[in-house]
Structure 1
Amino acid sequence: MIVYGISYTTDRFAHEVKEAHVAFATDAGVYVSGHVDDLVIERTEPTVEALTALGFRVQEAAEKAAADAERNVPGGVPYQPMITSMPGDSDAIPDDNTQAWHAIALRLADRYAGMGGQYGSVEEFVEKAQWARREVEQSSEGPTTPTFVDGYIPRSVDGVHTDIEILRQARTYGMHVIQSGPPGTGKSTSATAAHGDHLLTIACYDGMTFQDLVGQYLPVPGEAGVFRYVDGALVTAMLTGRPLLLDDFGWMPSGVQATLLPVLDHRRTLTVLDRPDEQVITAAEGFCVIINLNPGIGFGVTSPIRDRSAFELHVPVDLKAASKLGIPAGFIEVAQHLHTLADGEAANGIRRWVPSMRSLIKARDLTMVFDEHFAACAMLGECPDGEQRMKLQSLLTTELGLGIDVPEPLQARSL
């Protein structure tokens, strides 16, 4: 559930959690207030208007708590509504289940005292709540998995959470994540599906510099000799509290990777001496970094960067999702054979080419425009020459039922 609320104590010497008062709203339109041992539960339909009204009640409670206490919460941050995520659906918890609501209130108080959430506005709460309600409604309709962006289908990570959920949750708690896997497996798409238009992206390359991350002076179009300082995506993301995707991170030189160290650890700061405005940048709430990594490609990722990442998520080609995306069964069978073969040879240190999700989607599209034979020829051209291409050629011929029409790499010849 998505929770928007505050926690406070009336006695400055009391235990912050055990003696806490709370005022919070949930995405199911439940409003809870009072001492953690004596809560008042109110319900309303979770419409946009109702959730907005509950959000303003939380803000009013925060203002009153600040005025009554005339002090700050731990860490020196004034009473300010916090958005956090908790397990379960509050819509399914009866009002008379005081034990469950007591546990939720204690958890909120504990997270609030530890600043374990994202300070936000009523509008942000309503937007997150609407997302949560849509996901609950879609999951209750049956086994159909919701589609978020360009046909992307969320994937289960640990049998409980989807990749979309953990990327959003990581952002809520300011965690930085590494996504690793072959090209074309959906790493960038999952980040876009999780964060939408809020996501900023930097495409890494072997010649990139510090300025590519933080910004630099650039000529003003139409004004000869006039330069203006333009912030890079890293600085923009930190200032505005937005998630940042570092794509193809393995190509970022190690010296440039070092720029990120104070950004990714507890300091969450960056110093830019050339910047004409504020030179010490502190990351706002909501900022996080997603590192996309293709193992074995480029310079790799340094140990200090790995150490500052909360976890690494391996993203393989999802052949179950491929069938839901309308990819012909023959191409999925070919991919399954090659992936099984690659897994067996990986133990001996042998890297074998396998079709990526992007390759399979291209095969689907080319089949629709031309035919399966043409799509097979195009896929064959992606595979390295030699034994691997011969194996792919044999599998394509068999699984697609091409007979004597054996695919060959696409090549224009004289008629």
Structure 2
Amino acid sequence: MTTAPNASTAAPTVRPGSVPVPSSTGRLGQGELRRKVAAILTDRPGEMFTPGEIARSLDRSAGAVGNALSVLADRGQAELVATGPRRYRATATTADALKGGRTSAARPAHPTTATAPAPKAASAPTPRTAGASGTSAKVEKPVVGPVVRPNGQTYHPRRLADLPDVAALRRLREASIPAMLYGPPGTGKTSLVEAAFPDLITVAGDGDTAVADFVGEYTQAPGGGYEFIYGPLITAMTEGRTLLIDDATLISPKVLAVVYPAMDGRRQITVKAHKGETITAAEGFYVVAGHNPGVHGAVLTEALASRFAAQIRVSTDYDLARVLDIEPRAVRVARNLARRQESGEIGWAPQLRELIAFQKMSGVLGPEAAVANLLGIAPEEDRDVVAEVISSVYGRAVAPLALGQQI
């Protein structure tokens, strides 16, 4: 069960002469929360704030504020200066985010200033230029530098609609447009979502996934009796976080139906297992799904597809494979097989995950063992074609990795 990280309970520090923003837990208009957040950053230039600190001063969810900060950073209107925890500060263009109008005539309350030293930011903010009207204009040169995922691994963004893919996904979230990423396993769908949304909660789907895996269930309490433990869907809704339904098309359509009311205009679900409780999604709640076409048991129903207005194909970035110093001949084999897969000649080709594993295997057991293993992981029905391609690239016959004579 995924739980929300602990948040500091320190009261926000209000600067002399400022007036706290009145508590407002109702639904805000488009971009209104972002302007509130920008107002706080603008009012305290040079100081760093976590999403939780700003959230407490605005009486909003930390997830929603974190999303607003991510959008501001993408636009160059905020700077991510630390990642553990995330801390942001104003830039020279943060005030541009207020040009839609301040959300309150009063000055906002301000969180306690962080004093910890700031490590290097995970990625540089995306620069913006001012248009003739004085409003923020389209990004001229999107930043495509590496992004650090929550697990500490580095993600290399790719272009999507003239933006870094992480920035494009954040914009879809801002506009409440659910996204489905589809493509072969190992192409980086989950890595992209993790890089785009640090507040992510994941449900790993399979044929045994049940409604309780989304909404929660009763569990025996330490002191006796039973208590209801909320599931990932409820946590994401109440905290305004992103929910990734990985391998969504392996989950029974009857089970997935529990998510649909939270994704449409109602933004509510009823937890029948817990006294018929009604849960309303907080601002920032967002759903993204992963789909592996061609995987046994994966069925993309019309009901599921219709819930995801944005459907984005994710394929292996073979140029990235070269950047990662993966053996060039292995990349050539993968490209060749990918072309044959697209033509329908075979059903499998090595993806980035397999190429990274190839490189690791080569470093541990040697290049010959890595090549033999690459053939061995190919499905039986495609193995003859894979062997032919590997042999043509490496100039020798190859057999699957296997035990030899007794030593």
TM-score (norm 1): 0.67
2:380 is paired with a residue whose SS is coil
Of 160, 163, 173 in structure 2, the residue corresponding to residue 171 of structure 1 is 173
| Alignment match, 2:154 | 151
Preserved contact between residue 233 and residue 243 of structure 2 (Cα < 8 Å) = yes
Deviates more, 1:261-270 or 1:293-302: 293-302
Q: Deviations over 1:149-200 (max 9, x none)?
A: 3232111112x2121112222333333211111101111111111122x211
Residue 133 of structure 1: how far off its partner (Å): 7.4
| Equivalent in the alignment of 1:336 | 335
User: Closer, same or farther in 2 for the Cα pair 1:122/1:285, shift >3 Å?
Assistant: farther
Q: Secondary structure at the match of 1:178?
A: strand
How far does residue 303 in structure 1 lie from its aligned partner after superposition? 2.1
Partner of 2:84: none
Aligned counterpart for 1:380 among listed residues 371, 375, 390: 375
Structure 2 equivalent of residue 261 of structure 1: 260
- 1:241 aligns with 240
1:267 Cα shift?
Answer: 0.8
Of all paired residues, the percent bearing the same amino acid is 27
Aligned with residue 277 of structure 2, among 276, 279, 284: 279
1:271 to partner: Cα distance: 0.2
Match of 2:148, as an amino acid?
Answer: F
**Counterparts of 1:191 and 1:331 in 2: how far apart (Å)?**
27
Shift of 1:30: 5.7
Q: Secondary structure at the match of 1:48?
A: coil
Matches within 5 A, 1:40-189: 47-49=46-48, 83=68, 85=71, 89=76, 107=100, 134-136=124-126, 145-149=145-149, 150-158=153-161, 160-189=162-191
Determine if contact 2:166/2:195 at 8 Å carries over to the other structure: yes
Aligned to 1:94: none
Q: Structure 1 pair 229/361, CA: closer, same or farther in 2 (3 Å)?
A: same
Task: Give the alignment partner of residue 368 of structure 1, picking from 349, 359, 363.
Answer: 363
Deviation at 1:250, TM superposition (A): 0.8
Q: Which residue number in structure 1 is paired with residue 313 of structure 2?
A: 314
For 1:248-300, what per-residue CA distance to the aligned partner results, in whole angstroms no more than 9, with x for missing partners?
A: 11111111121122111011111002215x81000111211110011133242
Q: Secondary structure at the match of 1:296?
A: coil
- Higher helix fraction (1 or 2): 1
CA distance change for structure 1 residues 183 and 133 in 2, over 3 Å: closer, same or farther? Answer: closer
Closer, same or farther in 2 for the Cα pair 1:240/1:103, shift >3 Å?
closer
Q: Which residue of 2 aligns with 1:389?
A: 383
Q: What is the aligned length?
A: 328
User: Does the C-alpha gap of structure 1 residues 204 and 400 become closer, same or farther in structure 2, counting only changes over 3 Å?
Assistant: same
Greater Cα radius of gyration, structure 1 or 2: 1
The answer to whether the 8 A contact 1:254-1:301 is kept is no
SS in 1 for 2:343: helix
Q: Is the 8 A contact 2:333 2:393 kept in 1?
A: yes
Q: Does 1:352 align with 2:347?
A: yes
Q: Partner of 1:4 in structure 2?
A: none
One-letter amino acid of the counterpart of residue 393, structure 1: A
Q: 1:166–1:340: structure 2 CA closer, same or farther, 3 Å change rule?
A: same
Shift of 1:232: 1.0
Residue 235 of structure 1: how far off its partner (Å): 0.8
- Structure 1 Cα separation of the partners of residues 77 and 125 of structure 2: 14
String of CA shifts for 1:278-332, please: whole Å, max 9, x gaps. 8100011121111001113324233233223231111011111111222111111
Match of 2:398 in 1: 407
Aligned mates of 1:188, 1:307 — CA distance in 2? 21
Q: Deviations over 1:362-396 (max 9, x none)?
A: 0011111121211111111121224x312222322
1:135 CA drift (Å): 3.3
Change (3 A) 1:258 1:24: closer
* Distance of 1:239 and 1:24 partners within structure 2: 20
CA contact (8 A) 1:244 1:288 kept: yes
Change beyond 3 A, Cα 1:121–1:175:
farther
Compared CA separation, residues 244 and 131, structure 1 to 2 (3 A): farther
- SS of match in other structure, 1:201: strand
SS of the aligned residue for 2:357 comes to helix
Structure-2 change in CA distance of 1:143 and 1:161 (3 Å)? closer
Answer whether contact 1:30 1:90 (CA < 8 A) is retained: no
Q: Report whether the alignment pairs 1:209 with 2:207.
A: no
Q: Does residue 295 of structure 1 match 2:296?
A: no
- Per mean C-alpha deviation after superposition, the further-off stretch among 246-255 and 207-216 is 207-216
What are structure 1's unaligned runs of at least 5 residues?
1-15, 32-43, 64-79, 92-99, 114-119, 125-129
TM-score, normalising length: structure 2: 0.68
The separation in 1 between residues aligned to 2:259 and 2:335, in whole angstroms, is 38
Provide the secondary structure at the position in 2 that maps to 1:289. Answer: strand
Whether the aligned pair in 2 keeps the contact of 1:264 and 1:309 (CA below 8 Å) is no
Q: Distance in 2 between matches of 1:48 and 1:141?
A: 27
Q: What is the SS of the residue equivalent to 2:335? A: helix
Give the 3-state SS of the residue equivalent to 1:218 in structure 2.
strand
| Aligned partner of residue 245 in structure 1, secondary structure | strand
How far apart in 1 are the matches of 2:144 and 2:261?
A: 42
Please give the alpha-carbon distance, in whole angstroms, between the structure 1 residues aligned to 2:393 and 2:143. 29
CA contact (8 A) 2:38 2:94 kept: no
